[in-house]
Amino acid sequence: MDNRGEVRDFLTTRRARITPNSVGLPAGTNRRVAGLRRSEVAALSGVSVEYYTRIERGAIAGASPEVLDAIARALRLDEAERAHLFDLAHAASPVARPPRRRASKGWSPHRSLQWALDAVTDGPAFVRNGRMDILAANPLARAFYRSAFDAQQQPNFARFTFLDERALEFYPD
């Protein structure tokens, strides 16, 4: 689908509504455009001026989700506008899909994962996420890291290590 005009209109109108002062750039005296220049959006997005100019002119097909997300952040798009930008990119090329956002509800382990952890009887076994939250653990891990499990509802290694006084006893060195 050829949606170059719609992409161009969308990005230029969003660029025009942001002032240089609002993003910490000097306004200057000789501005020919309302809002940010293409070079300023490119710098804020971390892409080259030529690449951003091509995207703004409608050649959005093939733009990676990371680049589109950086442009959305630079243009301070709200969630609906960000989704529209990704929809425009997807219409031009089915490759550009927005990164999936996780729901805010907590994660709970599947029964089979807990069974697998419980089957480990020779040592502590646990599953954690990138934020160092302990998501599931076997009984030996719960016993070994008892201080971390007692400290909060959702045990977290980083929070326990750096903020809990009991960590000094657990990690004597």
pLDDT tens per residue across span 111-129: 899 999 999 999 999 998 8
* Judgement on whether residues 84 and 19 belong to the same structural domain of the protein: yes
Strand pairing report for 126-128 and 134-137: antiparallel
Q: Tell me the one-letter amino acid at 105.
A: K
Non-local CB neighbours of 9 within 8 Å, separated by 6+ positions? none
Structure tokens that stand for 40 in this block: 């300023």
Among 92, 120, 148, which residue terminates a domain?
92
Q: Are residues 55 and 131 in the same domain?
A: no
In a domain, 27, yes or no: yes
Tokens for 2, please give them.
């050829």
121 and 85 within one domain: no
Residues 86 and 48 in one domain: yes
Output the six-digit token pair for 79. Answer: 């969630």
**Residue 79 domain-assigned?**
yes
Q: Do 110 and 132 meet the contact criterion of CB atoms below 8 Å apart?
A: no
- Note whether residue 122 is domain-resident: yes
Q: Decide if 104 is inside a domain.
A: no
User: In this structure, are 17 and 78 located in the same domain?
Assistant: yes
Tokens representing 149 are 């499990």
Are both 131 and 84 inside the same structural domain?
no
Residue owning tokens 């805010």: 104
Q: Which residues is 18 bridged to in the sheet?
A: none
- Count CB atoms within 10 A of the CB of residue 77: 19
**Range of weakest confidence among 50-54, 77-81, 110-114, 130-134:** 130-134
Beta-bridge partners for 128: 134
Structural domain range at position 130? 111-170
Q: Please indicate, yes or no, if residue 102 is contained in any of the structural domains.
A: no
Q: What are the beta bridge partners of residue 77? A: none
Q: Tell whether 106 is covered by a domain.
A: no
pLDDT in tens, 82-105: 999 988 888 877 554 555 665 556
Question: Are the C-beta atoms of 89 and 56 separated by less than 8 Å?
Answer: no
Q: What is the tally of structural domains in the chain?
A: 2
> What pTM was computed for the model?
0.52
Would you say residue 62 lies in a domain?
yes
Q: Which of 159, 157, 161, 163 is nearest to 172 (CA)?
A: 161
